[in-house]
Structure 1
Amino acid sequence: MLKKFWTLFSVLLIAAMALAACAPAATEAPAAPTEAPVVAEPVTLKVWHQWDGAYLTAIQAVFDAYMAANPNVTIVLEKPENVTDALKVAIPAGEGPDILGWANDQIGGLALQGYIADLGTLGVDQAFLDATYTAPAAKGVVWSGKIWALPESVEGIAIVYNKAVASEADFPSDPMNFDDLLAKAQAYSEKNAGKYLLCNQGMPGGDAYHIAPIYFGFGVPTYVDDAGVAYMNTPEAVKAGEWLTQFKAFAPAEMSHEICKTMITEGNAAAWWTGPWAIADLEAAGIDYGILPMGKPFVGIKTLMIGKNAVDRGTAAAALDVIKFFTNTENEKAMALANKTIPANKAAQEDAAVQALSTIKGFGASLALGIPMANTPFAGAQWGPVGDATAAIWTGSQTVADALAAAQKAIDEAVAGMK
């Protein structure tokens, strides 16, 4: 019964993976492997992915560098139209990928089906994750106490403000101080009649993703955890809901992606709570922007997994060597500089050249505070109920307590139907 929910919880990040960052820039050549090759006999590794266009160029360069240093290894990239359906056919036939590039929200479902390998059985441990990758990225590839992938890059939202109409002083210096954000929103509206400090498309409801920094910022640990336990009918969620009812007085009457984009570009909103995908539009409009953290956003994680068939074919060790190489410091730095993606690799993200890119520095600071996108098979149960509860709170059609109790019940019922 899990199958009917897999499509739902994959929609958000599958869409996000297709979003472009900025145009590629010249960067350093990928690093050569430093360890002795693990492959003595010729082997071909099949990588299923969702990369394309200029974004793929820097990624291909990393694989090319690996093959140059390891002549016995041939890496073939393939891009199935529908990965979920393709896996169902290919894996039972023994024709599945050795390496699968996909979002971390797919991990639980794929692991339950037996489609991906537990990397712990290949020697990857938590100490390696914690030493190599940022905390949200490391946490987001662990499900049910096991490691299922290595993280490649991360993305999520932050406060992006228009420097022509606001300054950093207009926003809280403490990203967890929502009382200060409320006070500053009130002050800004009173000082600038008809204008607003902030636009967030999740506030009116129907969007559990963009509203997440608020719920999580008030202490909700996640919407639903690995065991299917929901956290919407909690004191922390109630405090977040009550804050929303107060903030409404100083927010635009209507908010959506397009409305927020128009408001910030026209100067009617000082800031847009959004992600890297919005930057190209702001730059095209000539907006001089700054990026600040606020709350605890969802952290989407692009990962590399090892397929079951790699274990069956005896290519898993070679595949692991490739994904470790792909996610090492120098290669993640090269891809970040070329594609302006935020590295999951800790040292790469902290590199001076990478930090010199304002988008990576700004969004990276926000995501360091965030909560990994849920990778549980039960994640599909969260989106509708959280969005509906937020809408009811925003419109006043239900009290905060009643709206969140209804969300809790809906998630609990959905999870029960999945088990």
Structure 2
Amino acid sequence: MANADIGALDANVAQAVAQAADRALEGAFDTEFPLDIWQGGGYTILNMNVNEVLGNAANEILTGRKGQERVHPNTHVNMGQSTNDTIPSATHLAIAPELDRIVDGLDALAAVFAAKAEEFKNIVKVGRTCWQDALPLTLGQEFSGYAALMRRLAGKCRALRPGCFELVMGGSAVGTGLGTSPGYMDAFYRHISEMLGEDVRPAENLFDGFQNADFLVSVSGVVREIATSLSKVAKDLRLMSSGPRSGFMEIQLPACAPGSSIMPGKINPTVPEMVVQIAHQVVGNDVAVTLAYEEGELDLNVWDATFYKCLFENLGLVAEELVIFRRDCAEGITANRGRCAHEIETSIALSTVVAATFGYPAGVEVAHYAEEHGVTVKEAVHALGLMTPEEAEHMIDPALMTNPARMAEAIRAFRNAR
């Protein structure tokens, strides 16, 4: 279309090539692309496969038969283009809808986690650091962190999206544009912007665009970050749902299978474990993408196959897992209120209030007493004469401890009263 606009290509030939391309997009020639994804030469083989299919189809439109009488794959279809600008440009454009899928998945998962944060806002539980009991927090506060993480990751994807529409088309083989006709670039970017409804533009420096595939590394890095973040959250859910009798069992995950192969009632956390496995694959692919960028030489990075195989596999994996993680796991999470309440009421970590009120040594004494005598912190502060039962009931309150401003005011009032 661009070459026809500037008078470099016969209008009838241009129309036939465009019609052939539309048929290709509809899947009419899917069986005509037999090449393996792994191939050298900067994907010239793939580019020429496309040129030859479109050329034969266009020639058939004009003459009634396949061949090269009216349309030649190089002279007419590849006109003004090179594999070296076409393939990287196509790659950039193909990333955009994949990022959009991931953003949609992150937004949807963030909404589910935010809803769970509201649902669980009054459920106080033991915090855990280093796999040890820590200060109390609410289950809702934990889930609000997951929601914030998903929103932040979606923002990083959105920030990358404009780079998908910075292309090297018009640079031809090495960025000089040799082989294009006057006006080609302007016509190309006008047409493709209109067709896609996006602001498609040439890279600021075409030579940089040919030499360096760092944008693909940036995309791969964010996709890796999403996959590993999902894995971290999945492992949290796996731990919090461990049990049902001898684990944490603070939450329950939806059952995707009735049990194990031998143990009835053993409901495995299959979706979180799938998410962890995907992270393993994504991290491995990201390493390959990084190496492919680093291996680029001089005026073109020819390790395209690694980018396309590994990067697009990662994009697809993450987009799909977001749907499954949300639909088959996050949406069905329920809280075990009784278990959470029992754990926090008996937690030695509540002695932190004593340390904040009377000093650290007093907190240590209370913690040791509670542990040695098998009593709660509330019972220990009374036994040691630090607080009356009424004072202990008010001050050693896990819910109060989840609100630092209210806790600080309670400690100040207690000290003043003494």
TM-score range normalised by the length of the shorter chain: under 0.3
Q: Which has the higher contact order (CA 8 A, sep 6+)?
A: 1
**Larger gyration radius, structure 1 or structure 2:** 2
Structure with more helix by fraction? 2
Structure with more strand by fraction? 1
- TM-score (norm. length: structure 1): 0.20
